Structure 1
Amino acid sequence: MNERRLQNAFAESSVEIFVATKENIDEVQNFFIKQDKTFFKFFAEVVYDCHYKLTLKGATIDPKKNYEVGIRGADSISVRMRNILNEYTYEGKLGNGYSIEKSEFILWAPTATKVDLLIYNTAEDAEIPTKHLMIAGENGEYKATLESDLEGKFYMYELTFADNSQTITVDPYATAVSVNGKRTAIVNLQKTNPKNWDNDKFIAQKSPTDAIIYELHIRDMSMDKNIAFENNGTFKAFTEVQLTTKEGNTVGLPHIKELGITDIHLLPSYDFDVIDETRITDDTYKGRKYNWGYDPQNYNVPEGSYSTNPLEPTARITEFKEMVKAIHEHGLRVILDVVYNHTFSIFDHAFGKIAPEYYFRTNDDGYFTNGSGCGNEVASERPMVRKYIVDSVLYWQHEYHVDGFRFDLMGLIDTDTIKMLTSALQKVNPSTIVYGEPWQAGGSALPEYLQTIKGTQKGNNFAVFNDNFREAIKGGSDDETTGFATGAPFLEPQIAIGVAGSIDTISSSPTETINYITAHDNLNLWDKVVKTQGQNENLGFITNQEGEDVEIAVKNATPYHIVNEENPFSNELVQRSVLANAIVLTSQGIPFIHAGDEFLRTKFGDHNSYKSPDCINMIRWENKDKFIKVFNYYQGLINLRKEHPAFRMANEELVRTHLEILRQDNNVVSFVLKDNANGDNWKNIFVVYNSNEITCEVELPVVGEWNIVVNGSKAGTEVIQTINSHAVLAAPLCITILYQ
């Protein structure tokens, strides 16, 4: 038996093989390269310890063939096709093109020796398909055209490789699938359009800083059984716009409109894994019915568990469009949360069944890397992967009229890809908003200079989440640590930086920073404030998160028993939570709030509710009745921001000209937006954040008459009080705003 000394071999170009060994090889001439019985001449060189580059002489590698690299007297291993596939770039359209007369099918599979198109009449597993041999092209593509009307049928691809292994896969460019995403469906997309869909248009926005983003999970909005939603947990629930709470307050989409939101950020709504779509309405089913959706399966298809009929491939498509249309009819925009940085699995996903070493990143020793924390990371920097991502967002923009995109773990996607897709989207719709998380969940094989991290968005027309500002305001995401709004001293300079749009640190313009406190990840705002003030036990927050015990624990919790519903602003927890988002809503940049913050939503202390039951995650609309005064306060702050462009400056020059920080000490930050900032009809606007537990006297920019429009219990544009003084008494734990 030969000694095992080889670790891995990758074909990196048509003439280059990168080899990893378990130990240093003293005599590199002992390597050999062969294909079948043919041995190749090559030049070998050491790259670094145990890693070598072998360059072929007078021959090239064919990615459809099997090659071996070995060491004479020891072992040999198969060469895996990696960056060589960059040389097989196909620029044309991929996927299924349907018409009544014919259907075209194009798949990029450069390592396959044969591809068969499998056509099924149904989605049933037992059906034997008809096979159609696809024709190979010069750039790794395979094509087939069938001259008949295939609407309502299903298809898969069967790939055969040089070692005679086979895989069967859905089309990575699938636009419709069977239940649970198992087979690709052939549909007439024109028939999926709701009535007057052609009249549905993007909602224009002058600047990204005009956006007020509301992050929402599809299912969360409509699972409250106290509201008479007919289509709980679905896209279609967004079309139910006549419902109210017991007190007659709006719920669902009309509530979001009433709040003053401009953009609804929907958590992942494409087809994701882990949820059995056939059991989603089965009350006897004890399996998982809930997931945030960060488990990508079919990127270009809406999620079936959000459909009223996941068994019918067109239902989810039509219902997603109906949702978008309803949102647009309310004057709001749709932002789709997209997760191109990883897939739920490697070898069960279409990418892994076609060319795993190409679509996913690997390290030099041949292992798949895990910068996502989910087991893999998609190699966006490679041309055909980049093409896929760009094609995908353009498809959602074209077919579903999506107005913007939020990128999960944007730090794992190379900046050139983000710039390319941003440019392509904004060429179609100049108001398209693009933003994402400028970090990773672990070490990545993507070189740091390619990563889309804080600062890379400067001048590139997209934005990133500003965790610097976030932590300065609230502290850490899941622990007891505090920030400016939750009780920490000495953070005034960091708050002042964020107020100015972070133009002295991570951004070059306020249009490049997403200002926020909490999102779906980690503790939500109310729960974070509760934890910083040591109130978890007092409010009965749960510790057990398994099975029915969760529902019992939720019923026994008393998350608001210390809050006076008639006077909620007398409670310190309320004051601190409202102050946190008041800072976000009055700072330069793009404000972002998590659904339910406006009426003190709780998840009962669950800091990672991605698979928790509805009793944890659903929005409880009774909170709006209980805390209508808090809702009104948020509504007033949002209206103030929308009516006064001074809070929405769109470039560095305007900020440096019109925003002046006046105080940043002793738990007080004050600033003035001066000289009719950004064309505002108020000459001067004075803003004070007081995170002290006592009233503070704060000097005004100039002595004279000032109108107070925001204090500790009221917010908006109407004058609450007029003073003529050199200073204002800023109430504790709140924001105060005055104007001249």
Structure 2
Amino acid sequence: MREITEYYGGRDLGCTYSKAESVFKLWAPGAAKVTLALYEDAGCYNADGQVIDHAGGLEIGMKKWKDGVWFLRFSGDLAGRYYMYKIEHPDGTVRYAADPYSKAVSANGARSAIVDMEAWNPPGWEADRRPPLAGCEDAVLYELHVRDFSADPGAGFQHKGKFKAFTETGLRDKDGNAIGIDHLEELGVTHVHLLPVFDFQTVNELQADDPGASGPKYNWGYDPQHFNVPEGSYATDPTVPGLRIREFKEMVMALHGKGIRVVMDVVYNHTYSVEDGPFEAVVPGYFYRRDAEGRLANGSGVGNELATERPMVRKFILDSVRYWADEYHIDGFRLDLMGLIDTDTVRLMVEELRREADPAIIVYGEPWTGGESPLGRQTLKGSQRNLGFAVFNDHFRGAIKGDSDGEGKGFATGGTGTEAAVLEGVRGSIGDFADVPLESVNYVTVHDNLNLWDKVLTTQGLRDEAKFPDIRNGELVHGGSLHEAVENSEPYRSIDGENIMKSETVKRALLANGIVLTSQGIPLIHAGDELLRTKYGDHNSYRSGDAVNAIRWENKRRFRPVFDYYRGLIDLRRSHPAFRLTSRDQIDTHLETLRCGEHVVAFMLKDFAGGDAWKNIIVVYNANNHEIKLDIPFSKTGWKVAVNEERAGNEALDWIRDEQAVVPALSMMVLFEDAGGISQAHRFLLTR
């Protein structure tokens, strides 16, 4: 392959539609000839949901224009038509390819579609506004899969597994508890982080809702096909190209209307395949990274890596995130395997989004790879320093919970010797890999690996008691019905329904995320943690379907005190800037360690940290199986308790008048000293 040096800087690749004309531009610098093929329909699908034959369209030769771009202007209104590019290469090969810059596609991404984007805007879209956010320090992230959110058969969603499920308000369980989007609003999270919602390849959109079909109906979506088009299996009708656009925007509007921003999980490090991907047929060899021997690099673990350091690959990524931010009002991006994306590309992404779209857009990602890569400037922990984006803090994660899939223990799960690492995470990891706390995304579990409830059960040796089935690749290892195995499991056997907050498993789970929600940095919780969600021990549920992955909304009624505890912690965090410090100097000045050792971490946020209304705040994590006594500074007003072993929030639950706090086993405590005088303490006593 010849070296490709042509670079096109315009932001108009793909199809630019108007009712008067459509302009097509394709960057294919090595092509000998490019022809536009126009179709009246989506083509003839085979049994696998694919369109193999793309001959028979109206084929019109394109002009080789400039900077490697082929150009065609077509007069008339083409809305509702489909198109492909027929590309002839110098070696004589001929390939039909969908547009890498497709804005709409037919079912299963078989052909690019021409749509009038404005015509598919939902009513009120022009008035949609991002919920206000002063800065990323105010973010509380909630990681969620679109289908999981509404797939529960007993929850009453009309649009199960669809974008439109987010528009369904007023849903309640039999005890009147809010579920669905109203639940998210009640919980108080600021951002919903959606697992991939662009068009991905491994779910047959034509059969996703057919219980009798044998093809795959579920996937997390880390198998990109069309990066700039919403996924069709989440639309009510994937055969109508504009419908997924409208319903995606309806979802965004609904979340924005609840004061919740939307983060997209994006996968710019690899494609599902090379030959059947969006790039190879157009510019062979350019978009993919290779090693010194010329083999496809495989730092992703799926057989390929996108060469993000190349100018037109970088441009594609920057154009893509900007398109989602502008066209769909997306408020942030989580980058999958960010270690495979060169740091300059991430830096430029953040700078452009903050400058051109919204200063409060959040960008974060996984600072690792899935294997060895020849990329020089990998975006690993530490590379983000002072560049405006954050990385997942796996050091903190491991210190809190232990390993990801096994019986290894951390601070909250019964481990030893992790107190210093927990305290480092509490401090925003500014003594580790970060310059400021906003460079750290703090979490204990996400979609990958065991979720929190299952991890705690595993560390307690309770998997067999819970009757967890042995699941691999979405099936039972020894055969049988996965649905029946799930129904026969007992993940909550260790809980006394009359004393939920007394359960050791519940205590350890609450302690784990309690640490996350009261530490410096950006907290992220996995959807359903607040409902004690289980995935029945499946540590890799990416294609295990609804039986394993669906959020069971009945758990809100069943474990309401747990939800209230999470809601209280989030309210506490959002109400007090002391938990949202933004600089190293603030942390060094205002965060004082009180104890770090013997399964206890305690610290004080002092002297109105971050401009807080509370003068001093003490946070204690007790991972012992017994209560501990902590000496605390004398206070003329006394210390009020905002968080104890059973309740959390922004109001006083109790009052400590002496210089010692008693913290129950396996719990956390938050105490505060307000700015008022002794009369306020007296008033508190009078209201008890």
| Superposition TM-score tier, normalisation by shorter sequence | over 0.9
Q: 2:273, 2:303 within 8 Å by CA — same for their partners in 1?
A: yes
Post-superposition offset of 1:248: 1.1
**Counterparts of 1:92 and 1:628, CA distance in 2:** 50
Pick one of 391, 408, 426 that aligns with 2:354: 426
1:482 to 393, 409, 420: 409
Shift of 1:304: 0.2
Q: Equivalent residue for 2:439?
A: 512
SS at match of 1:299: strand
Q: CA deviation at 1:490?
A: 1.2
Alignment-mate amino acid for residue 588 of structure 2: R
Q: Report the counterpart of residue 654 of structure 2 in structure 1.
A: 721
Residues 88-123 of structure 1: per-residue CA shift (max 9 Å, x gap) = 444452100000111000000011010001000111
Give the superposition deviation at 1:578: 0.5
Q: Indicate the residue corresponding to 1:455 in structure 2.
A: 382
| 2:617 corresponds to 1:685 | yes
Q: Which residue of 2 aligns with 1:559?
A: 491
Structure 2, unpaired ranges of 5+: 45-52, 674-688
Cα deviations across residues 107-150 of structure 1 (Å, max 9, x unaligned)?
00011010001000111236610111111123111000111111
Partners of 2:650 and 2:256 in 1: CA distance: 26
Match of 2:567 in 1: 635
TM-score normalised over the length of structure 2: 0.94
Q: Secondary structure at the match of 2:512?
A: helix
Deviations 1:266-293 (A, max 9, x none): 0000000011111112121132111000
For residues 654-681 of structure 1, what are the alpha-carbon distances to aligned partners after superposition, in whole Å with 9 as ceiling and x for unaligned? Answer: 1111111111010000000000111111
Which residue matches 1:238? Answer: 166
Query: Does the aligned pair in 1 maintain the 2:623–2:665 contact within 8 Å?
Result: yes
Q: 1:146-545 maps to which residues of 2 (within 5 A)? A: 146-427=74-355, 428-447=357-376, 450-544=377-471, 545=475
Give the drift of 1:338.
Answer: 0.3
Query: What are the Cα deviations for residues 557-592 of structure 1, in whole angstroms up to 9, with x where unaligned?
Result: 011122022321111111001100000000000000
- The secondary structure found in structure 2 opposite 1:279 is coil
Measured against aligned partners, the alpha-carbon deviations of 1:334-387 in whole angstroms (never above 9, x if no partner) come to: 000000000000011121112232100011211101000111000000000000
Query: Could you tell me how far apart the structure 1 residues matched to 2:537 and 2:222 are?
Result: 21
Between the aligned partners of 1:189 and 1:727, the Cα distance in structure 2 is 64
Q: Secondary structure of the residue that 1:635 maps to in structure 2? A: helix
> 1:204: Cα distance to partner?
2.5
Cα distance in 2 between the residues matched to 1:701 and 1:272: 56
2:672 maps to 1:739: yes
**Residue identity opposite 2:532 in structure 1:** L
Q: Is the 8 A contact 1:88 1:110 kept in 2?
A: no
Select which of 118, 124, 145 maps to 2:37.
Answer: 118
Q: State yes or no: 1:574 paired with 2:506.
A: yes
Kindly indicate which of the two structures has a greater share of residues assigned to strand: 1
Report deviation, 1:407.
0.3
Compute the TM-score of the two structures, normalised by the length of structure 1.
Answer: 0.88
**Correspondence 1:730 to 2:643:** no
Following the alignment from structure 1 to structure 2, what is the Cα–Cα distance between the partners of residues 719 and 91? 58
Per the TM alignment, residue 156 of structure 1 is displaced from its structure 2 partner at its CA by 0.3
Q: What secondary structure sits across from 1:249 in the alignment?
A: coil
Q: CA deviation at 1:703?
A: 5.2
1:530 partner SS: helix
Q: In angstroms, what is the RMSD of aligned CA positions?
A: 1.1
Distance in 2 (alpha carbons) for counterparts of 1:292 and 1:302 = 14
Q: Confirm or deny: 8 A CA contact 2:11 2:319 kept in the other structure.
A: no
Matched residue of 2:524: which SS?
strand
Aligned to 2:545: 613
Alignment partners' CA distance in 1, 2:347 and 2:16? 28
- For 1:455, the aligned partner's letter is G
* SS at 1:392 equivalent: helix
Indicate conservation of the 8 Å contact 2:6/2:29, yes or no. Answer: no
**Partner Cα distance (1:315, 1:233) in 2:** 15
Cα distance per residue 1:462-516 (max 9 Å; x no partner):
1000000000000000010000000111111111111011111111111110000
Distance 1:316 1:378 in 2: 27
Residue 286 of structure 2 aligns to a residue in which SS?
A: helix
Aligned amino acid, residue 643 of structure 2: V
Deviation of 1:651 (Å): 1.5
CA distance in 1, matches of 2:252, 2:370: 31
Sequence identity (%): 49
- Look up the SS of the partner of 1:354 in the other structure: coil
Give the Cα–Cα distance (whole angstroms) in 1 for the partners of residues 602 and 278 of structure 2.
Answer: 54
Structure 1 contact 207–511 (Cα < 8 Å) conserved:
no
Q: Any idea what the Cα deviations from partners look like across 1:621-653, whole Å, max 9, x if unmatched?
A: 011111000000111111111111110111212
- 1:431-464, Cα deviation, whole Å (9 max, x unpaired): 10000000000001201xx111111111111100
Q: Is the 8 A contact 1:90 1:108 kept in 2?
A: no
Q: Secondary structure at the match of 2:281?
A: helix
Asked whether the equivalents of residues 163 and 234 of structure 2 are also in contact (C-alpha less than 8 Å), the reply is yes
**1:23 is matched with which residue?**
none
1:550 & 1:86 partners in 2: Cα distance? Answer: 52
1:627 maps to amino acid: F
Number of equivalenced pairs: 657
1:282-339 residue CA offsets vs partner (Å, 9 max, x unmatched): 1211321110000000000000000000000001000000000000000110000000
> 1: CA distance between counterparts of 2:385 and 2:298?
27
Q: For the Cα contact (< 8 Å) 1:179–1:304, is it kept in 2?
A: yes
Q: Which residue of 2 aligns with 1:11?
A: none
8 Å contact kept, 1:86–1:382: no
Alignment pair present for 1:100 and 2:29: no
Residues 128/548 of structure 1: CA separation in 2 closer, same or farther (3 Å cut): farther
The whole-number CA distance in structure 2 between the counterparts of 1:575 and 1:350 is 48
Check the 8 A contact 1:709/1:720 in 2, yes or no.
yes
Matched position secondary structure for 1:641: helix
String of CA shifts for 1:402-437, please: whole Å, max 9, x gaps: 000000000000010001111111112001000000
For the residues of structure 1 that align with 2:426 and 2:368, how far apart are their CA atoms? 22
How big is the shift at 1:701?
3.1
Between stretches 479-488 and 347-356, larger displacement belongs to: 347-356
Secondary structure class of the residue paired with 1:683: strand
Match of 2:556 among 624, 631, 641: 624
Question: Are the aligned partners of 2:578 and 2:610 in contact in 1 as well (CA < 8 Å)?
Answer: yes
1:645–1:680: 8 Å Cα contact kept in structure 2? yes
In the aligned structure 2, how far is the partner of 1:379 from the partner of 1:414? 9
Q: CA deviation at 1:197?
A: 0.5
